[in-house]
Amino acid sequence: MRENVSFVSLSEKLKEIKLYDYVENNETDALKNIVDQVISSNSVEGSADDYYNLAADLAKLNLNRDACSVLKRGLDKHKGSVDLLATYLLLGKDIEELSEQLEKYYKTLNNIPNELWTWRGYSFTLEYLNSKKLCTTDSDEIRDIEYIIGHLIKTYYERFPNSESPYLAEAKRHIGTDTEQEKRILERAISELEFCPECSIRYADLLFDGLSSSDIQVNNDKFKKVSEYLKYSKLLKVNRDIDIGYSQYLRGLCLTRLLSDNDYKNHEKINEIYECFRIACDEQIILRKNFTKIMEKHIRVLEIKSGTNFSMESIYQNNT
């Protein structure tokens, strides 16, 4: 019986997905049709990277089950792929019916020497373990998981000493339980690394969340440092998919926070903030509407106090 398949090269099909913006246009049916063919056909050929890239596209549309099916198919052919194994752990961790397969792949990944792990191997496995820890009340199991997490983080730092990824992974360990410890880890990244945009974004979030009138000068020094790290020119030097819109939104807020009464007549400083907000509200860069509303209010105050106008057209287009 002949297979009902319209393509054999997954790599070529991925180029088509990118060309026609299937993900940006939310073409879930078209992507699911491709998934069906990948899963059901023995004729489709692809590298481990091809299977990962298709799964990543599906995950962007919250199609995690389909993504895991693609990863499983990829692992049938590339059994020792650290990225495919770790990505399955990440995308499948909240899908209860995959628990048995998750444990199987976790054991497979653990049998691969750590020196062969990629950054995804460490980061995604740590997210899986943190999720697993939250699903149990057994103190012995929690203690065992914490020990494994601690060991993996230590090894992660050793393997990727100049990357912000180990810092992020360690900081995530404390989300929701110890904000001050999370801040300290991110501060360490900012002080020790030349570039750490993701740490800077998260750190800025925490600074604004914990904002108070106390220690104004200390806080302002921190906002100044973060605003330097979030410069667009620095983001370009990092080979990661950074949320440009949100990063520039935060940088604009940091710079606004640093303004003194005399600075409102400093057109250079005002225009630097406006430039951040223009990037953040560009119609080609998606920023959540609640952030856009906050930005609108800050821009209006800046216009009144500085006398320098800001074009709001792109912001209004985003809200239509």
Assigned domain for 307 exists = no
In a 10 Å sphere around its CB, with 0-12 CB exposed, 13-18 middle and 19+ buried, how is residue 146 labelled?
Answer: middle
Q: In whole angstroms, give the CA distance from residue 38 to residue 32.
A: 10
Assigned domain for 26 exists = yes
Q: In whole angstroms, give the CA distance from residue 196 to residue 163.
A: 8
Assigned domain for 4 exists = yes
pTM higher than 0.75: yes
Q: In whole angstroms, give the CA distance from residue 230 to residue 276.
A: 10
Q: In whole angstroms, give the CA distance from residue 42 to residue 38.
A: 8
Q: In whole angstroms, give the CA distance from residue 256 to residue 29.
A: 44
Cα-to-chain-centroid distance, residue 289: 19
Residues with Cβ < 8 Å from 99, sequence gap 6 or more? Answer: none
Assigned domain for 191 exists = no
Tell me the average confidence (pLDDT) per consecutive run of 10 residues in the chain, 320 residues long. Answer: 58 74 71 86 88 92 94 96 98 96 97 96 97 93 96 97 95 92 95 91 89 63 91 79 90 95 94 93 76 92 94 52
* Placement of tokens 């697993």 in the chain: 132
Task: Residue 14: give the domain boundaries.
Answer: 1-78
DSSP string, 22-61: TTTTT-HHHHHHHHHHHHH-SS-B--HHHHHHHHHHHHHT
Assigned domain for 116 exists = no
Q: Please answer whether residues 230 and 248 qualify as being in contact, where contact means their C-beta atoms are separated by less than 8 angstroms.
A: yes
What is the tally of structural domains in the chain? Answer: 1
Q: Find residue 45's DSSP bridge partners.
A: 9
Q: In whole angstroms, give the CA distance from residue 316 to residue 320.
A: 7
**3-class SS at 164?**
coil
**3-class SS at 86?**
helix
What's the helix, strand, coil split of the chain in %, to 5?
Answer: 70, 0, 30
Assigned domain for 84 exists = no
Assigned domain for 44 exists = yes
**3-class SS at 4?**
coil
Q: Please answer whether residues 61 and 28 qualify as being in contact, where contact means their C-beta atoms are separated by less than 8 angstroms.
A: yes
**3-class SS at 9?**
strand
Assigned domain for 42 exists = yes
